[in-house]
Structure formats: C-alpha cells, structure tokens
Amino acid sequence: MNFVEDPEQPSAEGSLHLPREEVRRRSLAGVFYISASNVANLLIGFFASLALARLLTPHDFGIVAVGSTALLIGGALADGGLGAGMIRRSTAPTRQELRTLNGIQLALSLAACGPAAAAALFFGRTGAVTAIMLASLPIQLLQTPGRIVLYRDMRYERQLGIDFGSQTAYQIFCVTSVALGAGVWGLATGAVLKAVVGTALTGVLGVRVGLPSLKGWRSYGSLIRFGLSFQASWFTWMAREQLLNVTVAVIAGVSPLGIWMFANRLFLFPSIAFNSLYAVAFPAMANLLARGEDAAPVILRTVRRSALLGTFVFTVFGAIAPKLIPVVFGETWSSAADILPFVCFSTLILGSIAVAATSYLPAAGHPGIVAWASASLGVVWIGTTAPLLPVVGVTAIGIGNLLGAFVEAFVLDRATKRYSGVAPSRAVFRPALVAFVAGGAGWLICKTVPGGIWVAALGGAFTIAGCVAGLLVLCRDDLLDACRLVLAAPPVQRLMLRGRAAPTPTPS
C-alpha cells in the first residue's frame, strides 16, 4: 500500500512513483473494472427501481430525492477536495496525515450536516428522512484514508469490491425492508447501511490508519486551498444543472422538464464509456507528473483513444435514438430523441478533450481552470436554451448543450496547451468528422424509414459500419492501437488464458 509507515515523516520510498509499465497495466485494468462496476450497478439499480416503483408512490420517491440532494451537497462540502489534493502529491501521506485529513473532513461534515439535520426535523416526514440520510455522511467519510491509498496505488479491483458490495447491500436492503412494510424509511436507513458496509469493506480491502485526528490541522492550508479549487468544478456543475432545470420549467413548463430529465437518465448508459476513463486518468496523470515525465504525448494518446471509443458508443446511441425510444418506452417520450443526438455529439468532442485536460490540469496544480471551463458551458447552455425553447421546443436543450460544449472544450484546450505544450483538440477532429457523417446517415435511416425495432438495428449496424470504414481511412493507426490496447488489458488477458485448453500431460 502506498503510504508511509512513519506516522510523522514522509520518505522517498513513499513517493508516487509507480513504474511506467505498472501505471499502464493498472490503468487498463481500471477501465475494465470500473466499467464493469458501473454496468453492474446500473442493472442492479434498474431492477431494484422496478420493484420499488410497485411498492412506493411518486411522493415517496420525491421525499428520498430531497434527502439524496442534501446528502450530495453535504458530502461535497465535507470532502472539500482534500482527497484529490493528497492523491496528486508526489510523496505518500503518513498515517498521521491521513488521520488529520479525516478529522478535518469529519469536523466539516458535523458543522454542515449537524445543524441541517436538526433543522430538518421540523419539516415533518420529509425532514426526518433527510436527517436520517445525513447521519450516514460521517460514517461514509471514514472511508477516505483507505480510498486515498487505493487511488494512489491504482488498485481498482479493490475499489470495485467496495463499491459493488455496498451498492448491492443497499439495494437488497431497500427492496426487502420496503416489501416488509418499512416504506420510505427503508430507503432512508438503507443510506446508513450503505455507508457502514462501504466503510467496513474499505477497512478490509484498503488500509486502516486509526481514528480521525485534528493534530497539525493548521498546516493543511495549501491542501485546503487546492481542494476548494478542485471541488469548485463540482459545485459549478451542480449549479448549472439546477439553473437549467429551473429555466426549462419556468419557460416551457413541467412536461418539457420531464422529457429532459428522462433523456438525461437514458444518457447514463452510454456515459459509462467515459466515466471509467475519468476515474482512471487523474491518478495515472499524477503518477506521470510525479516522475517528471513529459505529459504531452500521454495527453494526445488519451484524447485519441477516448475519441475512438466515443465515436462508436455515442454515435450509435444518438443515431438509433429516434427509433429506439418510442418503440421501447412509448411515443410519450419520443421528444427525448430530439435532444440526445446533440448531447451525444457534444460529449464525444468535449469528453474526449476533458478526459485528458481535467486530469492533467488538477494534477499539474491548476484545478481552478476546470471550474471556469464548466461555468462557461453553463452560461452558454442556459443562454442558448432560454430563447430557443419557445421556438424549437426541447431540441433547444440539445442545441444549447452542443454550443456550450464547444466553448468549454475551447477553454480546456487553450489551458492544456498553455501548460503542457500540446492542444488536445488536434486529436479529436478526425474521429468527430467520422462520427458526424456515419451518425448522421444512421440517424436519417431511423428517422425516415418506417418500421420498428428492426429499423433501429439497421440504423445501428449502418452507423457502426460507417464508423469502422471512416476510422480505417482517417485514423487507421489509432484504431489498430486501440484494438491492441483492449486485448492487452489484464482482465482480458486472463479471460483469454482461461479460454485456452490446458495441454494434455504426456505419459512417461
């Protein structure tokens, strides 16, 4: 485990210097493990939601949504980005440093959530549920030291065990308790159970450093300043999402807002493709910079590989949306298909750049730029959506998202070029061109050809064929490199080895 045994002083042996090949191997494994975890959690959550939907009312879900939002905000305030600051350090933290960091976070959580939970009790059942869910935050924060060590060591298989175990326990408990008559209280206490299970698993799979402490907290000023800058991007993201929802509801009404929320929920499935890359990129970049290596080639490789992955995932999803959504979910939700192609294309462009830029800039000590870039997307997105909503309906949300993505991508691209010497946008143009042409052709098939699910399959197959052909012409070397990379992933290697028949022993 990557921490220093000496409780007081770091040492050279504790530096963030994993060998280059080991960083590569663990990064590949991390993408596989985190993607698998996300898919599994989505599937478990989907079936649990189906069961809970038959046992609870929309009002019950609304109550839990209030508690979840309060818990999300409280967690962000208590975390303060301190963990990210310690992950990027070249020297490993001592046990005492991890204890002090945990003590600071617990103090912040009690200061923020204690009064909030007490005040919530005066607001009936909704407030009581919120108070119970907030009680899970201090327990959850006890995981911080172990998770920091696991992130620094890039031990993603253990993080998968923690996340999958706690999420599975949570969903099983919620469904069982609600079925036995606990109602909304089952979901509230489930949040506490999830925190307890996650903390217990972190102690088993991670590292135990002792009880939280506030010893030496005054020396954490620089870490707190970095953490606040790092965390600012999350608050910016949350603010823009809420302001967009309010804007849509005020101008167009609740129904268009419901369409947008539904489209956003559907987009969770293709977004798994980039979520794992975001999680892996920051620790890997921190390791790279800690060795004093040039980040420029890694940035360009990361963008190229992300763009290739996005070309297949987001292009196909956006192309088949016009036919798939009304067939699977009904005509009531067909308007969501007018938003998703824009969001898919914007994510391909912005996400490919952001995977590298939002890992490099914080690791290089410039986290505030990420927050400013996120804010610029929000300003353009809301500023474009508001006047277009009465004219083109919910399509305005997609148009605004695409224009805002171009602006954020420009800000991240300029900042990354300034500090690293390379512009990530250089690696996105060709895959984006292939995605636009192939996705547009598949979208036209799904939009114009009459029929049901078979038309969606036809449009998807045509889009995939167009992507493969276009990438072979324009990005042949990158495509072959990506294929070799997938085959080189440790979990894939192990699966391939298991698939080979063991040699028959030769009789002596």
pLDDT digits (tens, 9 = 90+) for 2-45: 554 444 443 333 445 566 677 767 776 777 777 777 777 777 87
Q: What does the block give as tokens for 429? A: 């143009």
Cα Rg of the chain, angstroms: 24
pLDDT at 478: 79
Q: What does the block give as tokens for 125? A: 């059942």
Question: Pick the residue with more confidence: 76 or 162?
Answer: 162
Give alpha helix (H) positions in 182-295.
Answer: 184-205, 221-252, 254-266, 268-290
pLDDT in tens, 81-133: 667 767 766 677 788 888 888 888 888 888 877 888 888 888 888 888 888 88
Can you state the percent helix, strand and coil of the chain, rounding each to 5? 85, 0, 15
Residue 390 to residue 385: CA distance in whole angstroms: 9
pLDDT at 10: 38
- Work out the angle between the directed axes of helices 184-205 and 58-79 (0-180°, nearest 10): 30
pLDDT in tens, 452-475: 788 889 999 999 999 999 999 888
**Distance from chain centroid for Cα 304:** 19
Minimal CA–CA distance to 374: which of 415, 313, 329? Answer: 415
Residue 365, CA distances (Å) to 152, 154, 227, 315, 415 in order: 17, 20, 11, 34, 12
Mean pLDDT throughout 333-337?
85
Angle at 305 (CA atoms; ends 301, 307), nearest 5 degrees: 115
Q: What residues pair up with 15 in beta bridges, in sequence order?
A: 91
Are 120 and 130 in contact by the 8 Å Cβ rule? The answer is: yes
pLDDT in tens, 485-506: 666 555 555 555 555 544 444 4
Minimal CA–CA distance to 148: which of 197, 79, 217? Answer: 79
DSSP label at 220?
Answer: G
Three-state helix/strand/coil letters over 162-211: HHHHHHHHHHHHHHHHHHCCCCHHHHHHHHHHHHHHHHHHHHHHCCCCCC
pLDDT at 208: 73
Q: Is the pLDDT of residue 344 over 80?
A: yes
> How many CB atoms neighbour CB 183 within 10 A?
17
Give alpha helix (H) positions in 330-365.
Answer: 340-363
Contacts of 106 (CB under 8 A, 6+ apart): 78, 138, 141, 142, 212
Minimal CA–CA distance to 67: which of 8, 114, 133? Answer: 133
pLDDT in tens, 119-167: 888 888 888 888 888 888 888 888 888 888 887 777 878 888 888 888 8
Least confident of 290-294, 379-383, 387-391: 290-294
Residue 99 to residue 441: CA distance in whole angstroms: 56
| Encoded amino acid at 461, one letter | A
Q: What does the block give as tokens for 294? A: 């040039």
Helix (H, G, I), strand (E, B) or coil at 257: helix
Minimal CA–CA distance to 145: which of 100, 109, 112, 80? Answer: 100
Helix (H, G, I), strand (E, B) or coil at 445: helix
* 198-212, 358-372, 435-449 — most confident range: 435-449
Range 184-187, long-range pairs (CB < 8 A, 24+ positions): 184/56, 184/60, 184/63, 184/64, 184/125, 184/129, 185/129, 185/132, 187/52, 187/56, 187/60, 187/64, 187/129
pTM of the predicted structure, to 2 decimals: 0.73
Are 93 and 1 in contact by the 8 Å Cβ rule? The answer is: no
pLDDT at 12: 35
Considering the chain, what percentage of its residues have pLDDT values greater than 70? 87
Average pLDDT, the chain: 81
Q: Name the residue with tokens 């299970």.
A: 197
Mean pLDDT throughout 274-285?
78
Q: How many residues does the chain have?
A: 508
Q: What does the block give as tokens for 136? A: 């899970």
Residue 78 to residue 106: CA distance in whole angstroms: 7
Residue 241 to residue 69: CA distance in whole angstroms: 13
Q: Is the pLDDT of residue 437 over 90?
A: yes
